[in-house]
Amino acid sequence: MSFPAHRPRRLRQSPAVRRLVRETHLVPAQLVLPMFVREGITEPLPIGSMPGVVQHSMDSLRRAVADAAAAGIGGVMLFGVPAERDALGSGADDPDGILNVATRAVVAEVGDALVVQTDLCLDEFTDHGHCGVLNASGAVDNDATLERYVAMALAQARAGSHLLGLSGMMDGQVAAIRDALETEGFVDTLILGYAAKYAGAFYGPFREAVDSQLTGDRRTYQLDPANGREGVREALLDVEEGADIVMVKPAMPYLDVLAEVAASVDVPVWAYQVSGEYAMVEAAAAHGWIDRRGAILESLTGIRRAGAGAILTYWAVEAAAWLR
């Protein structure tokens, strides 16, 4: 009788051995919680397509970020939902706009314990729902949009944001904002470039979360889901322009891109586990079709294994409790 020459199962024989030889580690500090704050409400509003996630009031936002800090996660990413919108997204750079007011409040509450991050994009603030300024033909005007992004970046930096999440996918956005920050003395403000942000079907629940006014799609500025090399190219350009960190979004459908980006750049690489990924697991778990906790932790571990140094996830606080 012959015996196997190699016995890899020895490394799986007990929880202690498996823990000791584990290649990928997931800890609370690697998780970032996206949060929505809505102008004009006094109680948090549940988001129907994202069970467990809410649009916060200012008071509930303060309580939630305190809980996030206590959970030991790495940071929070803030999204504002304004009461009024216009074609230019004027509320985005208004010092009294909801996102900038919320940023000041969160920095005051937990600014020493968490990296306070702000979404830098116009889509929540425009009455057409696109991520930029439209020209006469209705297309997004890249360079006119950069001017609005610069104004938004300076407003967020003045509000105390530690990290600006550039999610609009305009050409040259990192360079324009880095130059403006340096000129105005905000030399320590971090830039997260959403370098490889793909146009696809996994953002649906997010549109509800920010009360998006979008009609049509964003395929002229977000990446084609069929293109991997293009995502790497965008990441390299963002690094060249001065991004401190680059992002791949969504996470699970683009793990190959995430791995390629992580192998190609010399800055931290993050990934965003988007609303559709969250909603699918929650829906399957609600029907008893999937082990909810197991699926959440496995999905986060897979994103880490592919190369993400940190993950934006709506499960950040809950997962942190399990990991502790």
The reply to whether 107 belongs to the active site is: no
The reply to whether 129 belongs to the active site is: no
Catalytic residue among 148, 197, 218, 304: 197
Catalytic residue among 85, 178, 249, 304: 249
The secondary structure of residue 140, as a DSSP letter, is: B
User: What does the buried/exposed string (b/e) look like for 271-298 if buried means 16 or more CB atoms within 10 Å of the residue's CB?
Assistant: bbbbbbbbbbbbeebeeeebebeebbbe
- With beta carbons less than 8 A apart as the criterion, state whether 295 and 281 touch: yes
The residues carrying an active-site annotation are: 197, 249
